[in-house]
Structure 1
Amino acid sequence: MSKGKYIRGASRRSLLQQFGAAAIGISFAGGLSACGRQGGGSERVVNFYNWDTYIGPTTLEDFQAAAGARVEMSLFATNDELFARLRAGNPGFDVIVPSNEFVTRMSQAQMLMELDHSKIPNMANLLPEFQDAAFDPGRRYSMPYTWLVLGIAYRKDRMPAGFVPNSWRYLFDSPQFSQRLALLSESADLIRLCAKYKGHSVNGIPDAMLAEIEQMLIRQKPHIKAFHEDDGQDLLAAGEVDIVLEYNGDIAQLMAGPGGEAFDFVVPTEGTLINSDCLCIPTGAPHVDDAHAFINYLLDAEAGKKITEEIQYPTPNAAVAALMGPEYQSNRVIFPPAEVMAVSEYGAFEGDDKSRQYEEIFTRINAA
């Protein structure tokens, strides 16, 4: 899934221009530190591969002050990109943030290390429903970082009077917002939401329905301004589109910033896809002990509060939730209504063949 660049009225790129990448411990070049390997070197380093705008403003520096290890953070835009980067072997990452389905996929492919829970005592801070997970029984390979839902974000002044776009139809099967809409480029999420629109589960989609979805999106293609990877809310904020498929936390960030009252977010009545982004240690991580320490730190109540205040995503951490104020706890964008959550689902990994099938379908749609 894509996490966007918008933070409190400034993109991560503009922050980099203002302060410099080194000042906030971020690397875009993909070069990973070879220093600080366990048992050698004078400097301890954690190489962190994360979504954009998905960390607190001082989290990296705070961890270094607390633990003595510097964090080098590189960014990816989709789970597909993350998986492709590590498929041929770990280039040196210590902590990564795959979504639930990819935790299963990567663990089955032996791309993740089993976690040592004795080194993550802050696991006790998690809400009971996140202590275990169907996609990772016993939390052998992952700790939950956030949970999130996909929905429709829109500019209120560009909608007909009193109109709320509360169906996936307006994105997938309607010319109403021709060349003023943007869809997510992550193949599995997009296809599963189309199945939801058609009244099917996001899982176990039959081939006949996949063919229908492909043709539906090819018909819709002339009306689509962009398939975005990491900038859906930026397109919306810049006025390039009026309506976009996005994650709730990204739009909560946008709405909390300057001019945020111009935007709104709705989860369609058909239901949506729920995701959980997780903290994992990839096989071959060079700094395993500090990787565990970093994951444990991210699950700390005060550290998690700073992260949650910044990224505006739902937290699976009970200790963090207890510290958040009513503006967060009652935010209907961050926490969608119970009636739509009741008809929403997690996507399950259904094998490499199915994943490749989704990717091939999206490639054909994008090329149409």
Structure 2
Amino acid sequence: MQRRAFLATAAAAAACTLDRRPRLNVFNWSSYIDPRTLEAFTAETGIRIRYGVYESNEEMLAKVMTGNSGWDIVFPTHSRIPPMVQLGLLAKLDHSKLPGLVNLDALFQSPAWDPGLRWSTPYMWNATGIAYAQSLDPAPAAWADLWNDRVRGRLTMLDDPEDVLGACLLKLRLPFGATADSDLERARAEAIAQKRYLRAYLNAEVRDQLVAGDVLAAQLWSTTAQQAIAAQQASHPLAFTYPAEGFPLYCDNAAILAESRRRDLAHRFLDYLLRPAVAAANATVGESATCNRAGRMLLPPAARDSVVLYGTPEILARGIWPVAPPPDAQRLRDRIWTEIKSA
């Protein structure tokens, strides 16, 4: 066979093997979906999913700020939704293509960060509180209890400026989202004073230290605390509390990027995630709290009724939904956080 004929035949063969099914590009937090969800969606619709993960809102935003990231769907935390709308990064949702919205819990039908759900669909939510060893007596009940000799060297706080500064502000009976210079300087002083008791600033990796009994108390997200409690040893029983002074609540939401050229496909995927059975499976794999009321009802009683994951009406009344601070306040917070960690 002549070389030109061979190349033409090879090119034709390669073209025949290309997967010509439509493709949707989904960018989500890690460990936040049942892999079988993606497989089942593709089997049902013929739409392939290119799936990527990130570990922070900042990582996701760095990708999509260009408006040419190649992603179709992202999952921003609630406080990032309004700024992303203002920057023109999100596409408006077509509710006629999202009949599954009725499955959401009443708390998420028209949240403050997106009234009427014009730009996003709530997915999973969590709170920040205190995970602790039940051997601590009395049990910690407030942020102020984390400034105490009895946890010296066996205490961790999150490696997160919003949560740490927020806890310090609440300890001082100041607003979680305070932006005044004087308030943030007082929070800085509290955080530095706490370092004498502190083992480290850690996120999800502290879970294993709690289970092993090396850490007695940790500022921690409710989902990670639930994972630690599920893995606890009989010799080191664990518990979780929502601090008396108040605590932050966070909701991650599915949203379609304005740059997406596959909005019909994206709506199909969002509505698929709103199916009760799908929401339940994703919450089970992620050991997370689903925003989907109908999906929650399908969970085993231990997960469905978990106070760690879902709180109670009385507990949630103390919850605070943080908002994104103005740029000047954010820069001050970033500077103060650097000073705290280097002190």
The verdict on a shared fold, with TM-score over 0.5 as the criterion, is: yes
User: How many Å separate the matches in 2 of 1:168 and 1:240?
Assistant: 20
- Which of 116, 127, 134 matches 1:138? 116
User: How many Å separate the matches in 2 of 1:258 and 1:202?
Assistant: 31
Per the normalisation by structure 2, the TM-score is 0.85
Corresponding residue number in structure 1 for 2:195: 221
Corresponding residue number in structure 2 for 1:17: none
Cα distance change of structure 1 residues 114 and 230 upon mapping to structure 2, 3 Å threshold? farther
Tell me, yes or no, if the aligned pair for 2:242 and 2:315 is still in contact at 8 Å.
Answer: yes
User: How many Å separate the matches in 2 of 1:342 and 1:332?
Assistant: 14
Give secondary structure in 2 for the equivalent of 1:152.
Answer: strand
- Which of 249, 272, 288 matches 1:313? 288
Which string of whole-angstrom CA distances, capped at 9 and with x for unpartnered residues, describes residues 141-195 of structure 1? 1100022211111233xx43x3312211243x33432332222222223222322
Corresponding residue number in structure 1 for 2:183: 209
User: How many Å separate the matches in 1 of 2:196 and 2:68?
Assistant: 39
Alignment of 1:297 with 2:272, yes or no, is: yes
- Which of 164, 172, 176 matches 1:198? 172
Matched residue count: 325
Tell me, yes or no, if the aligned pair for 2:164 and 2:191 is still in contact at 8 Å.
Answer: no
Corresponding residue number in structure 2 for 1:269: 244
Gaps of 5+ in 1: 1-39
Highest CA radius of gyration, 1 or 2? 2
Give secondary structure in 1 for the equivalent of 2:219.
Answer: strand
User: How many Å separate the matches in 1 of 2:292 and 2:24?
Assistant: 23
Give secondary structure in 1 for the equivalent of 2:132.
Answer: strand
Cα distance change of structure 1 residues 294 and 357 upon mapping to structure 2, 3 Å threshold? farther
AA aligned opposite 1:266: T
Tell me, yes or no, if the aligned pair for 2:154 and 2:199 is still in contact at 8 Å.
Answer: yes
- Which of 276, 279, 304 matches 2:254? 279
User: How many Å separate the matches in 1 of 2:211 and 2:72?
Assistant: 34
Give secondary structure in 1 for the equivalent of 2:123.
Answer: strand
Tell me, yes or no, if the aligned pair for 2:129 and 2:241 is still in contact at 8 Å.
Answer: yes
- Which of 289, 309, 318 matches 1:343? 318
- Which of 326, 331, 335 matches 1:356? 331
Tell me, yes or no, if the aligned pair for 1:142 and 1:280 is still in contact at 8 Å.
Answer: yes
TM-superposed CA distance for 1:57, in Å, is 4.6
User: How many Å separate the matches in 1 of 2:238 and 2:35?
Assistant: 24
Tell me, yes or no, if the aligned pair for 2:211 and 2:231 is still in contact at 8 Å.
Answer: no
User: How many Å separate the matches in 2 of 1:240 and 1:304?
Assistant: 35
Corresponding residue number in structure 2 for 1:334: 309
Tell me, yes or no, if the aligned pair for 1:253 and 1:311 is still in contact at 8 Å.
Answer: no
User: How many Å separate the matches in 2 of 1:179 and 1:43?
Assistant: 55
Cα distance change of structure 1 residues 83 and 326 upon mapping to structure 2, 3 Å threshold? same
User: How many Å separate the matches in 2 of 1:46 and 1:72?
Assistant: 6
Tell me, yes or no, if the aligned pair for 1:165 and 1:266 is still in contact at 8 Å.
Answer: yes
User: How many Å separate the matches in 1 of 2:150 and 2:232?
Assistant: 28
Give secondary structure in 1 for the equivalent of 2:71.
Answer: coil
User: How many Å separate the matches in 1 of 2:96 and 2:182?
Assistant: 47
User: How many Å separate the matches in 2 of 1:113 and 1:41?
Assistant: 28
Give secondary structure in 2 for the equivalent of 1:138.
Answer: helix
AA aligned opposite 1:263: L
Tell me, yes or no, if the aligned pair for 2:131 and 2:225 is still in contact at 8 Å.
Answer: yes
Corresponding residue number in structure 2 for 1:155: 133
Tell me, yes or no, if the aligned pair for 1:105 and 1:351 is still in contact at 8 Å.
Answer: no
User: How many Å separate the matches in 2 of 1:81 and 1:239?
Assistant: 32
Percent identity, please. Answer: 29
User: How many Å separate the matches in 2 of 1:84 and 1:288?
Assistant: 22
Tell me, yes or no, if the aligned pair for 1:270 and 1:340 is still in contact at 8 Å.
Answer: no
- Which of 210, 213, 219 matches 1:245? 219
AA aligned opposite 1:208: S
Tell me, yes or no, if the aligned pair for 1:178 and 1:224 is still in contact at 8 Å.
Answer: yes
Cα distance change of structure 1 residues 239 and 316 upon mapping to structure 2, 3 Å threshold? same
Give secondary structure in 2 for the equivalent of 1:47.
Answer: strand
Which string of whole-angstrom CA distances, capped at 9 and with x for unpartnered residues, describes residues 213-237 of structure 1? 1122122234333323443324433
Corresponding residue number in structure 1 for 2:298: 323
